Amino acid sequence: MILTETEIQEAIKKAKTAFPSFTNWEYNNDKNSEYLGFSLWGQFVLDPENLMSKCFFVTLETYEEK
């Protein structure tokens, strides 16, 4: 599913609200060999005060037309 620019900004806003501890938000809005359409991901750092802390990238994807 490909989103319009307005839908992309709305999705990013909702994700930032739902996951306030995530940073470095990025997205893909193309169908290709890696993605089936719109995907949004953010970085979560377990302990931001610790330079050696583990970090995770969480991806949220559209599925078909939903």
Supply 44's token pair. Answer: 């979560």
pLDDT confidence bin for 64, thresholds 50/70/90: low
Q: pLDDT (tens digit, 9 = 90+) per residue, 30-62? A: 988 888 889 999 999 988 888 888 888 888 877
The answer to whether the CB of 42 falls within 8 A of the CB of 15 is: yes
pTM exceeding 0.85: no
Report pLDDT for 46: 87
Report pLDDT for 6: 96
Average model confidence (pLDDT) across the chain: 88
Residue 48, phi then psi, degrees to nearest 5: -60, -20
pLDDT above 70 covers a percentage of the chain that reads 94
DSSP letters for 1-66: -PPPHHHHHHHHHHHHHH-TT-EEEEEEEEESSS-EEEEEEEEEES-TT-TT--EEEEEEE--TT-
